[in-house]
Structure 1
């Protein structure tokens, strides 16, 4: 295929995240042609409940795809098809018509913490579950969510004919076909990473049968837009739709972190560190997870619940930078917050934030954690709090880094996500991890990773390794020798706080749930 043809043909990567969706069109050479985005709210009706409307999300998907498709026609591009990337660990019970019976529980929903607490009483079962699924026992996983629904809303559970996720719901709305990809299945806690099938024993434990579950297909599996969806999306009926994978594992592909020793680091709404592995790989201390990417490649790593969402909380609840006041002055509130953080030295004057506002996933896997500011004094300001939050999120990622170092030498860490807009935050992460951080020239990792699966599905690219030469370093942030010791000292205090407040976290969480 000649270069002119390559530059004309595009796949649209549809990246459906926790709070927003982006539709970005790419050529096989990695060139971003155009993009559109839309947002939707997280619903928090009760403590530990973090939901969103699947209907609202699909409407946002329709909006951004339609806008992107329209722009591509103006640019005379050939639309090869759509590829889906979705957030992990979502769950909603569906009725016989595959309509949601409830709002969708997100990965941040931890109402099933009591289920997890009960499961963890049997240490041998916890270990066996982890080794079979690659998923630590935690409230983020659909397994625990399903059990909670069965026990607490039995009338809804009885009506539930299908176990749905963001991926299979959107794929069904577009194609009329009920299926889920291996990547999403492997993030459910219900899928056996070794047999590559739904685990019958775990399904029985949850009160499910295989009939509740969608058929599992490869992440490069293709179907076609049915007529109703095609009209809404502004695309021809029959346009190919590749089912894709989860956003977390696609980031590695999208930023070219596809070689041994390469890691991807992300801070968006949440955050994560990940590395590729040729087979399912688990950690002796059960600190990390392992999910499928493509048939012969897996991603091992750890995700934190609390990334940019905590900075957003600070923006709205503490700094009060939301609303139209700053917009009228053409000021981005996050730029203002970053500027204020930059005026405070490393270590935030001894103020430490444990950013576990929604419990925590890796490496602690404890839904009963809560956020805290430690060391507050009269000399601390909002600027100190902003910097402490940014540093606390990096400390959380550093705790995952400790586990991944045991998987082998680290030679490159590439980053993506909204935090890459901040030089301050990127330098902070380099200093706290004490590793160079590479900002690639394409930081829209998941969307481009999805588009790559489209090009693999039609034979334009041969494998995910092809992205290694498509993505190049834009800037490298190196650890600052005079700052690293400060962060090393404060990180030890950060770890000590978690280790010595377990009982107090459990007590305050129980109190919050009663009130």
Structure 2
């Protein structure tokens, strides 16, 4: 068994989770160590990279408490994307990491699209120009912290910094690089056109390798800190969205999945960047070489449902506490009391503006169709239907160009049977549910590591990791009803759109 186990790390927003798998995909152990995010100035969000490293070291040591270091064949990371960590020539961070949700670079984004057309940015990178991305954050450092910018040797993302700490080598891979707004997706190279328009130094961008590329080996210093064996292979890994894509088995064209947590995204696999004239969605470089990963992300999916639970679900919360069950089980009962279409109630799920498909930071949530006859049950069902109809607009872009036969689901949202049926009916696709709804990211990192290290012969081995436990077929009558309702949902948004900015 020596050197045959796969150690995956998921370096997320709230903490690092170390997970150990064997070659058959059996979960052997998992340990999460939290860390903090520092918020300031309304739109700023940062993390201390030393806290990442401490979390990686302690979680690794916890995993190795019941296994031998020599059993670990490879280490690979999933990581939060679209951040900016400035490090000097020795790899020492010059300031905290500016994370993906930080929105300070609004002026820099405006400056970029003044120098290069916004559609040209999308054409090159597969993404809109946005303060969320790394190059705009680097521009902000240039304009506001010139000494930090001057001394920046490389701009790294979260997992790339930890890979450096393990191996001493500064690189990134194509999946994470496509979250910088600076990668030419077709050439898989840094875009000189965009970087020149941004007026930043291309030398500050790290070298590019594949997700399955070997970054290096664990150094003696890193081995002492983590408990890993010196010389253990470290594979580049991918961003969290890319790892989830591999972990749910979307490793061939058309295999599509929907993650539903506080936010939600739909992603698929294609052989090329999908055409999207309205720029509703965006595209990552896929961790599987040769493929692309089209994607669309909405802001408030599960968090819309959680918001209504807090506002109108106090009885369910109280009863669930008495019975020792999850309150969402009781809310499912409420949803079941309503009917398809929520008896004429529509919900616009825009409680934090919207990314895909609206791209409108001023968008607001709304209930439409309330009367004295409508009930709490109708409102709860309308929220689930509104979220799902919004996601279906993202799916439409993909369906027009990729043959999609079923929808795999992940995250906490699909635990409820009522929502699974709504998903099947609105999407008009079978919904496929894995046993582990929240382990796909770690599984994906493990498989990327296994393929990169030569321990797994192909990405198809992910199918032995996944166990599907439920399949929900569309109800044909419900499908037809939602086909009538969806245009009304879209019409409601466009009718209210002129009001949103006035409600600030």
Which TM-score applies when normalising by structure 2?
0.85
1:342 shift after superposition? 4.5
1:289 equivalent to 2:282? Answer yes
Instruction: Label 1:423 to 1:326 Cα distance change in 2 as closer, same or farther (>3 A).
Output: closer
- Which position in structure 2 is the counterpart of 1:505? 500
Distance 1:82 1:377, change over 3 A: farther
**Counterparts of 1:121 and 1:502, CA distance in 2:** 26
Q: Does 1:431 align with 2:425?
A: yes
1:366-406 deviations in whole A, cap 9, x for unaligned? 34434444455667776655544433332232111110011
Say whether residues 1:369 and 2:348 are aligned partners. Answer: no
Paired residue for 2:267? 274
Distance 1:35 1:276, change over 3 A: same
Asked if residue 218 in structure 1 is aligned to residue 213 in structure 2, the reply is no
Give yes or no for the alignment of 1:477 onto 2:472: yes
Pair 357,458 (structure 1): closer, same or farther in 2 beyond 3 Å: same
Asked if the contact 1:110–1:367 (Cα under 8 Å) also holds between the matched residues in 2, the reply is: no
SS in structure 2 at match of 1:180:
strand
- How many residue pairs end up in the alignment? 501
Identify the match of residue 59 of structure 2 among 39, 64, 70.
Answer: 64
1:46–1:470 distance in 2 versus 1, CA, 3 Å: same
Distance 1:165 1:18, change over 3 A: same
State how far apart, in whole Å, the 2-side matches of 1:501 and 1:154 are: 43
Structure 1 residues 500 and 451, CA gap change in structure 2 (3 angstroms):
same
The equivalent residue for 2:4 is 9
Matches within 5 A, 1:107-506: 107-113=100-106, 115-116=108-109, 125-151=117-143, 157=149, 160-222=152-214, 223-292=216-285, 293-312=287-306, 330-335=324-329, 337-375=331-369, 386-443=380-437, 444-468=439-463, 471-506=466-501
The superposition leaves residues 73-132 of structure 1 with CA deviations (integer Å, 9 ceiling, x where unpaired) of 5xx99221211011222224445554445544433334445554565678x822222222
Taking the aligned partners of 2:108 and 2:492, their CA distance within structure 1 comes to 25
Q: Which region of structure 1 is more displaced relative to structure 2, 29-38 or 184-193? A: 29-38
Aligned residue number for residue 84 of structure 1: 77
* 1:46/1:389 CA distance change after superposition, 3 Å: farther
TM-aligned CA distance change 1:344 to 1:210, over 3 Å = same
Structure 2: which 5+ runs fail to align?
Answer: none
Change beyond 3 A, Cα 1:260–1:195:
closer
Task: String of CA shifts for 1:17-59, please: whole Å, max 9, x gaps.
Answer: 3334332222222222222234445554354445444444444
Change (3 A) 1:9 1:301: same
Query: Root-mean-square deviation (CA), in Å?
Result: 3.6
Cα distance in 2 for residues equivalent to 1:99 and 1:493: 54
Cα distance in structure 2, aligned partners of 1:359 and 1:34: 38
CA distance in 1, matches of 2:254, 2:260: 20
Whole-angstrom CA distance in 1 between matches of 2:33 and 2:249: 26
Further displaced range: 181-190 or 383-392: 383-392
> Relative to structure 1, is the Cα distance of residues 199 and 141 closer, same or farther in structure 2, using a 3 angstrom cutoff?
same
Shift of the 316–9 alpha-carbon distance from structure 1 to 2, 3 Å rule, reads farther
Residues 470 and 388 of structure 1: CA distance in aligned 2, closer, same or farther (over 3 Å): same
CA distance 1:44–1:379, change in 2 (3 Å): farther
Distance 1:45 1:411, change over 3 A: same
- More displaced stretch, 288-297 vs 465-474: 465-474
Structure 1 residues 19 and 505, CA, compared in 2 at 3 Å: closer, same or farther?
farther
